């Protein structure tokens, strides 16, 4: 049974909190560590960390500040690459199953169809490079690891696009959101459930997990506002209207065929979003 001794790293984040809730609902025991108790930027601390008492390590911790990564790449790389490699090697040495998460941003974003799990890395920003480096550290390990790429993660709590748009729609009559970047939204709670399904199905190596369907950020925002019932009007714009320190891929849709072959269809993003909007935590 892979869940008899489970450790969640990054338990304070959207995904870590979702995993904790899921394991609790299933009556499965676990321990949880947030970044205050194990700082993944501290490589020496990661090397000293003992994983031998666990059967499954869920690494839900990551540097996710995409724009900040452009000027703090060493710190970002320490969390998203060095720590991932160290933890994976320690788990391999101790016979612990290792599950970690990566991103659609490892791909360039110039494709015309969804990126398969075997797609070539070509990130357009520092955050993507750090995640690609973390993936590279896993490839050489002959051990029991699973790296799940995902995208556009949100939850009823925490800092995320859904809560930002819902809050803005309550106070502003008009919103402008980019319509030239396409991807797949992902409910963090749904991501935890899909991850559980993949683990139980014996998935190994790289996998993709998101909600079903695809959209632009504009489509996503418009549906958020509709579900909240706010009177705000959402207008499309180009990425040039909102220049950011980090370039974003224009098309980062992840192929879900292998995941759906293993565990069945993903929940449509509209349905997953409606469930979350009903339960949005207050600001």
Active-site residue list: 127
What are 223's two structure tokens?
């549906």
What are 192's two structure tokens?
């935890």
Q: For residue 212, what is the DSSP state? A: B
| Range 217-222, long-range pairs (CB < 8 A, 24+ positions) | 217/161, 217/177, 217/178, 217/179, 217/181, 218/177, 218/178, 218/179, 219/179, 220/152, 220/161, 220/165, 220/177, 220/185, 220/269, 220/273, 221/161, 221/165, 221/175, 221/177, 222/177
Which residue, among 95, 102, 90, 3, has the nearest Cα to 38 in the 3D structure? 90
What are 246's two structure tokens?
């980090």
**Interstrand relation of 145-150 and 153-154 (parallel, antiparallel or unpaired):** unpaired
Do 193 and 250 meet the contact criterion of CB atoms below 8 Å apart? Answer: no
**Separation between Cα atoms, residue 62 and residue 58, nearest integer Å:** 12
**Separation between Cα atoms, residue 253 and residue 273, nearest integer Å:** 17
Which residue, among 209, 187, 206, 215, has the nearest Cα to 264 in the 3D structure? 209
Which residue, among 180, 208, 2, has the nearest Cα to 119 in the 3D structure? 208
Q: Which residue has the tokens 């320690």?
A: 90
């Amino acid at each position: 049974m892979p869940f008899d001794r489970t450790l969640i790293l990054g338990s304070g984040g959207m995904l870590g909190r979702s995993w904790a809730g899921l394991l609790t609902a299933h009556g499965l025991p676990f321990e949880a560590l947030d970044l205050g108790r194990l700082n993944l930027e501290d490589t020496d601390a990661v090397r000293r960390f003992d994983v031998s008492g666990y059967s499954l390590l869920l690494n839900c911790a990551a540097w996710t500040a995409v724009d900040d990564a452009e000027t703090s790449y060493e710190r970002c790389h320490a969390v998203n690459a060095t720590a991932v490699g160290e933890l994976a090697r320690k788990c391999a040495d101790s016979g612990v199953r290792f599950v970690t998460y990566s991103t659609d941003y490892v791909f360039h974003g110039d494709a015309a169809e969804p990126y398969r799990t075997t797609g070539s890395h070509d990130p357009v920003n520092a955050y993507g490079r750090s995640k690609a480096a973390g993936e590279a550290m896993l490839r050489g390990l002959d051990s029991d690891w699973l790296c799940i790429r995902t995208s556009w993660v949100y939850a009823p709590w925490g800092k995320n696009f859904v809560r930002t748009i819902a809050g803005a729609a309550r106070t502003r009559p008009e919103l402008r959101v980019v319509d030239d970047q396409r991807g797949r939204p992902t409910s963090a709670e749904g991501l935890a459930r899909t991850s559980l399904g993949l683990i139980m199905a014996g998935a190994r190596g790289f996998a993709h997990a998101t909600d079903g369907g695809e959209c632009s950020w504009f489509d996503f925002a418009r549906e958020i506002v509709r579900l909240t019932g706010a009177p705000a009007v959402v207008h499309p714009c180009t990425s040039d209207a909102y220049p950011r320190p980090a370039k974003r891929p224009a098309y980062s849709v992840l192929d879900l065929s292998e995941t759906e072959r293993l565990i069945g269809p993903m929940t449509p993003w509209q349905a997953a979003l409606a469930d979350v909007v009903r339960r949005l935590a207050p600001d």
